[in-house]
Structure 1
């Protein structure tokens, strides 16, 4: 009789462990998705500001505006979170290039529309950087849990996959932007 009670208690504890672990993994996965969605909202806000910036810059630097316009097209083609991350890295570089162009054109640098857009974009870029940090922290926490014993057993049983952090794609994107005419 005691053996049956011990077996039932062990089974109940195992079921409670699996339920608890599964629920924790679901919560963490949802937080990662929420973190990505938050970041995507800021990326969309930046994306909405870019056409105004492009129109302002076009009169001063046609080549750079065309370059930025072509990079914007990549955002429209992004389907997965990996695509979004790749295209956003390219857009970030293009925006840095546009700001560098302002140094070459004193009239553009003094243009109030450009300055207002530049300030708005700088604020959005700060928000994006913060949301990337938040997203990456959530991904790290989630990945830590799915890779740790014993929750890794539950994660593998229910196909919880490792998530990708948002990071700079390659070393050349970490260098200063060079604008040449």
Structure 2
């Protein structure tokens, strides 16, 4: 009877861990998706800058502007797009006809809308991080998170892109180790139950 109860308890704990693991994995995926959306927002800014840069270089007798490249590092894109916008603004101030061009007005409007878009994506990312960090700090999730190697996720920091990129959620080695131990424990309990029944016979 005791062996059966122990076996049932192990099965319950196994089910509980799987359920909590799936929840944490879901939150982890949402954080990664939110970070990817931040990068997409900066890629859109690069596209906006490059589109106007192309118009300036093609139609105007102005200083040639450099086209920007898309990168997986949003810090690089943020820095380069900011510098490009400053250069375009300075160029527009030097040439009144460029500043008066309707395309320049549309460019500024698009940049402004993109800044709002980027801000919203950052807020979404931080919200997902808050949900995840709150989840792994609560009992009993904190024990599951510790055993499976889930660590706190970093909030958005434009000066520490590496930490955001390195966040992966669970520790594969911790999961593998726990699975091996759990399997061994289940086998051991099953053997004890079988031996118990054999003795009764």
- Does the TM-score normalized on the shorter chain lie above 0.5? yes
Gaps of 5+ in 2: 161-201
1:159–1:62 CA distance, 2 compared to 1 (3 A)? farther
Gaps of 5+ in 1: 79-83, 171-181
Cα deviation, residue 5, structure 1 = 5.7
1:107–1:123 CA distance, 2 compared to 1 (3 A)? same
In structure 2, what is the Cα distance between the partners aligned to 1:61 and 1:169?
Answer: 34
In structure 2, what is the Cα distance between the partners aligned to 1:33 and 1:145?
Answer: 16
CA contact (8 A) 1:86 1:169 kept: yes
Task: Give CA deviations for 1:85-135 in whole Å, capped at 9, x if unaligned.
Answer: 321331353255246424554333211111112212221221111011101
The one of 98, 117, 121 aligned to 1:127: 117
Specify the SS of the correspondent of 1:31.
helix
2:78 aligned residue: 89
Q: How does 1:28-177 map to 2 (within 5 A)?
A: 28-57=27-56, 59=60, 62=63, 65-66=65-66, 69=67, 72-73=68-69, 75-76=70-71, 78=72, 84-98=73-87, 100-101=89-90, 102-103=92-93, 105-169=95-159
1:179 aligned residue: none
RMSD (CA atoms): 3.1
Larger radius of gyration: 2
Specify the SS of the correspondent of 1:168.
coil
When normalised by structure 2's length, the TM-score is 0.61
Q: Report the number of matched residues.
A: 157
